[in-house]
Amino acid sequence: MSRQLHARRVEGFDKNIWVEFTQLISDYKVVNLGQGFPDFGPPSFMQEAYCNAICGGASMHQYTRAFGYPRLVKIIAKFFGRIMGREIDPMEEVLITVGAYHALFCTFQALVDEGDEVIIVEPFFDCYEPMVMMAGGTPVYIPLKPVITGSALSSADWLLCPEEVASKFNPRTKAIVINTPNNPLGKVFQRDELQMIADLCIKHDVLCISDEVYEWLTYDGEHHIKIASLPGMWERTVTIGSAGKSFCATGWKVGWAMCSGHILKHLKTFHQNSVYHCPTAPQEAVAVGFQREYDVFGTEESYFRQLPAQLHAKRLKLAKSLRSVGLQPILPQGGYFMTTDISSLKVELNDPDTKDEPYDYRFVKWLIKEKGLAAIPVSGFYSPEHRADFQNYIRFCFVKVILLMDIQNESEQYRENYTCKTFFKQIIS
Amino acid sequence: MIITQLIHRCRSACCVLEIHPLRKLFSTKSSMTSVKQKNAKRIEGLEKNVWVAFTSVASDSSIVNLGQGYPDIPPPSYVTEGLAQAVMVDRLNQYTRGFGHPSLVKALSKVYGKVYGRLIDPFKEILVTVGAYGSLMSSMQALVEEGDEVVIIEPFYDCYVPMVRMAGAKPVLIPLRTKSSKKTNFSSADWVLDQDELASKFNSKTKAIIINTPNNPIGKVFTRSELQVIADLCIKHDVLCFSDEVYEWLIYRGHEHVKIATLPGMWDRTITIGSAGKTFSVTGWKLGWSIGPEHLVKHLQTVMQNTLYACATPLQEAVARGLLHDFELMEQPDCYFSSLAVELQGKRDRLACILQQAGMSPVVPEGGYFMIVDVTALNQDLSHMEEDKPYDYKFVEWMIKEKKLAAIPVTAFCGDESRKQFEKYIRLCFIKQDSTLDAAATILKNWSKA
């Protein structure tokens, strides 16, 4: 064919950090602390719920309501309504999507136009930038910056400068995207930080897109706060959540967008012209999961309480192992990632294939190919203008059982004579 | 008095505008005054959707639903068992490869490699999407933009036009026309494209043509020579072809499904779309695929990685197992790809018969699981229904209310200019259990009594 085939909207978006690194990871035998998914399964009550749905009659395998399986939207509205202290209309204010990724896509496509600016807090989950641009919008970045107050680095030490944030708002600003707990840093935004953002949204009549997929994963007594629950914010916030992250079932790809009906109707219009429906049986299973969590919320039995308690130990163990080999991890307040400063490690990176790439990309590729350990380079979570300043950080996912292995293990999946500490020692040897 | 009247007037105004009255009266930052909370231009005018309207009407269980196209017969048990097995494997509950779960793309490559008679690269020439709907969207977003025109054959599956418009392009419609002077025994084969008319729709702005074979709603199966005419135009004008073949296995005796991508010169310019939902009677699984040359599929993959990233893992694993199961049985009567068509042929013929007996004129489809039927001969007076809607919309609403039988109006599948041509037709779905068809038969038998 002689003419240009592809639409301009896909120009420049063919590279993708996940596609690149998951391919590399699958090419090498590695311990995968890279991509963010558990190396264990969802809780058995979820697997059972899915199996029950599969046997639940012919209708479980046919189309359901386009905007969300009724039982699921009702329990989500009830569950989050209780948390937020408001009546949420399941039919008008909740939309089920194919993962939170798709909820983000529907939001940008429904609300962002050419000429709109969208403020993105850095470091950011990488898809926000291409999604804003594919919708014709212009991303405007505002970095979290480290302000070290104690000896241990924590995600709490990474802050926004209020004056700098305010300077990014102008008449063209359509929306701001926040992610709390943040990927990759693990920062849990505090009430005063969210209030500062809310005040600006209200002052400039700007929408807020709040990616809260890791909402249950907070540690050391931190509380997740929903910006939509702040005064004046419900009517201008799209809150995005994920069953995959809530129930350790990332492969189910069930997510949602929750907001006031006058905004959600636009997401629905886009949804009905893009995928139209989401699969039925997993929605039934997630509904069962949420009903259970609604009934045991706040008790010891709640999975949303057990999961962060389990991950708490893994997080500390990983931090300790990283420090033992001279790395400086940033202890996350939430989420399932830990970002680590690698500048103290002096490693000869001789791979000619990667010589033009940022340092962290080169380091991670070396780690995968030579040391059998996968991580993700953090400069991929920064804008082009700031990438160069953050080449000394890599991200580990600690939602992995392998991190608790302290004993010899002869299974073919893991290396023999393996301990977590020994493993990280190999990085510098 | 004056205050109550004022409030009443505000409430009425608010009802018309669909806003909660009290919140708007007292909120200082009203969404009505916010220009910034307006929708993006790309979705302007696309809010209406025939399915959203009619599925809510027909969710009443006292209504016999031959409307929306999904089976009420169970899927094959080995397919649903495959899903249950997949869910019990921990790893299969986590993310898989974005462009398609490896076991699924390999199974698709195997099945379609045989069908196409060519080697299909599972990683570069296949993309798995959220239903065929997702494949249509990915194709449109990847390859169509402002300034482009896309030729669409009427009647068309209703999402084609909004998707083309959402991509910023212009839909150019061309209707299938019935040239036959027959008075009875209508077939979908009677509906054809006028070749000169088709050629006139192509120009330098034409980026793609969308074809759907077997066609929804008519059930037409395009013949090799008809596809050749389209192929010649694509090649002459350097145009892409998006071939929606979701009903590819549902072909009735005496007809053959031909893939336009297998015609000379067409593989390089065609995206062929298929559906697990329609293949295995699991519409609620929402898995589909796009197959085509790497230089086109790579752009669809770019869209995928920036929109959904990946489809669900357990469902993909189960479809892979189902495909491999039936691959072993291909060309044997036990193969679901052919056994379903045999089962549906009986239902098709039965429905056509009872419609004729009720005084309607069915158009017997060569493929797919829909049948359109001309209701002119019934002479149903609908003048009491005053809304300005096409006859078929009014007929279906009346039929749901008075006869407790649901169908879909065929003008939902065409543009305004072709309304007159199609407004005496309604669409019925026959992939339904015998008990559902029995209930429909009873209604149709008693049609003229009452």
Taking CB atoms and an 8 Å cutoff, what residues of chain A touch B99? 19
Rounded distance between C-alpha atoms, residue B71 and residue B61, angstroms: 15
Does residue A407 or residue A167 have the better pLDDT? Answer: A167
Residue A407 confidence (pLDDT): 30
CB atoms within 10 A of CB B318: 29
b/e map B423-445, b = 16+ CB within 10 Å: bbbbbbbbbbeeebbebbbebbe
Q: Which of residues 156-175 of A touch B (CB under 8 A)?
A: 174
Residue A119 confidence (pLDDT): 98
Preferred mutation among A50, A61, A134 to probe B, highest tally of B CBs within 10 A: A61
Preferred mutation among B18, B26, B78, B95 to probe A, highest tally of A CBs within 10 A: B95
List the single residue in A1, A50, A98 with the smallest CB-CB distance to B87.
Answer: A50
H helices, E strands: number in chain B:
16, 16
Preferred mutation among A10, A64, A205, A397 to probe B, highest tally of B CBs within 10 A: A10
Report which secondary-structure segment, H or E, holds B271: strand B270-275
Does residue A181 have a cis bond before it (omega within 30 degrees)?
A: yes
Rounded distance between C-alpha atoms, residue B409 and residue B427, angstroms: 6
CB B64 within 8 A of CB B447: no
Strands (DSSP E) found in A127-204:
138-143, 145-146, 158-159, 173-179
pLDDT digits (tens, 9 = 90+) for B244-263: 999 999 999 999 999 999 99
Q: Which two tokens stand for residue A11?
A: 């120009």
pLDDT band for position A424 (50/70/90)?
low
The answer to whether residue A115 neighbours chain B at the CB level (below 8 Å) is: no
The answer to whether residue A265 neighbours chain B at the CB level (below 8 Å) is: yes
pLDDT digits (tens, 9 = 90+) for B117-167: 999 999 999 999 999 999 999 999 999 999 999 999 999 999 999 999 999
Residue A2 confidence (pLDDT): 59
pLDDT band for position B351 (50/70/90)?
very high
Taking residues A217-234, what's their average pLDDT? 97
List the single residue in A8, A251, A274 with the smallest CB-CB distance to B95.
Answer: A251
CB A281 within 8 A of CB B143: no
**Cβ contact (<8 Å) for B84 and A55?**
yes
Minimum Cα–Cα distance from A270: chain B residue: B43
Taking CB atoms and an 8 Å cutoff, what residues of chain A touch B40? 109-113, 135-136, 266
Q: Which residues are bridge partners to B408 per DSSP?
A: B427
Q: Which two tokens stand for residue B429?
A: 């779905």
Minimum Cα–Cα distance from A267: chain B residue: B39
Q: What is the dihedral of CA B324, B326, B327, B330, to 10 degrees?
A: 170
Taking CB atoms and an 8 Å cutoff, what residues of chain B touch A39? 94
- Residue holding tokens 């990667």? A354
Percent of chain B whose predicted confidence (pLDDT) is above 90? 78
List the single residue in A13, A22, A54 with the smallest CB-CB distance to B302.
Answer: A13
Q: Please report, for residues A6, A372, B98, the alpha-carbon distance to residue A279 in angstroms, rounded to integers and kept in the order given.
A: 29, 36, 17
Residue B18 confidence (pLDDT): 30
Taking residues A79-100, what's their average pLDDT? 97
Averaged pLDDT score across all residues of chain A: 90
In the predicted structure, residue B383 carries a pLDDT above the cut 80: yes
CB B129 within 8 A of CB B106: no
List the single residue in B80, B92, B314 with the smallest CB-CB distance to A61.
Answer: B80
Coil, strand or helix: which one is A348? coil
Rounded distance between C-alpha atoms, residue B4 and residue B29, angstroms: 24
Preferred mutation among A9, A138, A199 to probe B, highest tally of B CBs within 10 A: A9
Taking CB atoms and an 8 Å cutoff, what residues of chain B touch A249? 93-94
pLDDT digits (tens, 9 = 90+) for B286-336: 999 999 999 999 999 999 999 999 999 999 999 999 999 999 999 899 999
Taking CB atoms and an 8 Å cutoff, what residues of chain B touch A34? none
Rounded distance between C-alpha atoms, residue A81 and residue A84, angstroms: 5
Taking CB atoms and an 8 Å cutoff, what residues of chain A touch B315? 279, 282
Q: Please report, for residues A151, A256, A331, the alpha-carbon distance to residue A100 in angstroms, rounded to integers and kept in the order given.
A: 36, 6, 25
Taking residues B404-420, what's their average pLDDT? 94
**Cβ contact (<8 Å) for A235 and B145?**
no
pLDDT band for position B45 (50/70/90)?
confident
pLDDT band for position A427 (50/70/90)?
low
pLDDT band for position B13 (50/70/90)?
very low
List the single residue in B52, B283, B306 with the smallest CB-CB distance to A62.
Answer: B283
Alpha helices in A205-242 (DSSP H): none
pLDDT band for position A68 (50/70/90)?
very high
CB B344 within 8 A of CB B367: no
The answer to whether residue A74 neighbours chain B at the CB level (below 8 Å) is: no
pLDDT digits (tens, 9 = 90+) for A165-175: 999 999 999 99
Preferred mutation among A5, A93, A265, A268 to probe B, highest tally of B CBs within 10 A: A5
CB atoms within 10 A of CB B307: 27
The answer to whether residue A347 neighbours chain B at the CB level (below 8 Å) is: no
CB A402 within 8 A of CB A31: yes
Rounded distance between C-alpha atoms, residue A238 and residue A262, angstroms: 11
Q: Which of residues 230-259 of A touch B (CB under 8 A)?
A: 232, 235-236, 248-253
The CA distance from A299 to the nearest CA of chain B, in Å, is 26
Q: Which two tokens stand for residue A40?
A: 């264990």
The answer to whether residue A272 neighbours chain B at the CB level (below 8 Å) is: yes
Taking residues B78-93, what's their average pLDDT? 97
List the single residue in A101, A262, A274 with the smallest CB-CB distance to B37.
Answer: A262
- Within a 13 Å sphere around the CA of B249, how many CA atoms are in the beta-carbon half? 26
Residue B8 confidence (pLDDT): 38
**Phi/psi of residue A341, each to 5°?**
-80, 125
How remote is the C-alpha of B164 from its chain's centroid?
Answer: 15
User: DSSP for B272-295?
Assistant: EEEEHHHHTT-GGG--EEEE--HH
List the single residue in B163, B305, B312 with the smallest CB-CB distance to A251.
Answer: B312
Lowest mean pLDDT, pick from A349-363, B165-179, B298-312:
A349-363
Minimum Cα–Cα distance from A113: chain B residue: B40
Residue B216 confidence (pLDDT): 97
Report which secondary-structure segment, H or E, holds A54: helix A44-54
CB A378 within 8 A of CB A339: yes
Taking residues A8-26, what's their average pLDDT? 85
Taking CB atoms and an 8 Å cutoff, what residues of chain A touch B286? 98, 275, 277-279
Taking residues A28-34, what's their average pLDDT? 87
**Cβ contact (<8 Å) for B159 and A134?**
no
The CA distance from A113 to the nearest CA of chain B, in Å, is 5
Question: Taking Cα atoms as reference points, which of A71, A124, A77 lies closest to residue A239?
Answer: A77
pLDDT band for position A148 (50/70/90)?
confident
Rounded distance between C-alpha atoms, residue A211 and residue A182, angstroms: 9
Taking CB atoms and an 8 Å cutoff, what residues of chain A touch B159? 273, 276
In the predicted structure, residue A412 carries a pLDDT above the cut 50: no
Residue A352 confidence (pLDDT): 82
**Phi/psi of residue A292, each to 5°?**
-60, -45
Burial class (CB in 10 A: 0-12, 13-18, 19+), B208: buried
In the predicted structure, residue A419 carries a pLDDT above the cut 50: no
> Please, what is the Cα angle at B335 between B331 and B337, to 5 degrees?
90
CB atoms within 10 A of CB B115: 19
How remote is the C-alpha of B355 from its chain's centroid?
Answer: 23
In the predicted structure, residue A241 carries a pLDDT above the cut 90: yes
Question: Taking Cα atoms as reference points, which of A378, A380, A371, A379 lies closest to residue A338?
Answer: A378
pLDDT band for position A426 (50/70/90)?
low
**Cβ contact (<8 Å) for A37 and B95?**
yes
Rounded distance between C-alpha atoms, residue A408 and residue A419, angstroms: 7
Q: Which two tokens stand for residue B408?
A: 């879909």
How remote is the C-alpha of B36 from its chain's centroid?
Answer: 34
**Cβ contact (<8 Å) for A61 and B285?**
yes
CB B223 within 8 A of CB B211: no
Preferred mutation among A62, A109, A133 to probe B, highest tally of B CBs within 10 A: A62
Averaged pLDDT score across all residues of chain B: 90
Question: Taking Cα atoms as reference points, which of B363, B430, B426 lies closest to residue B394?
Answer: B426
Output the CA torsion sign for B346, B351, B357, B359.
Answer: negative
pLDDT digits (tens, 9 = 90+) for B231-240: 999 999 999 9
**Cβ contact (<8 Å) for B75 and A61?**
yes
Taking residues A203-232, what's their average pLDDT? 97
Taking CB atoms and an 8 Å cutoff, what residues of chain B touch A282? 312, 314-315
Taking CB atoms and an 8 Å cutoff, what residues of chain B touch A281? 83, 284-285
Minimum Cα–Cα distance from B82: chain A residue: A54
- Say whether pTM exceeds 0.90: yes
The CA distance from A118 to the nearest CA of chain B, in Å, is 12
Does residue A70 have a cis bond before it (omega within 30 degrees)?
A: no
Rounded distance between C-alpha atoms, residue A220 and residue B441, angstroms: 66
Taking residues A87-107, what's their average pLDDT? 98
**Cβ contact (<8 Å) for B29 and A10?**
no
Minimum Cα–Cα distance from B93: chain A residue: A251
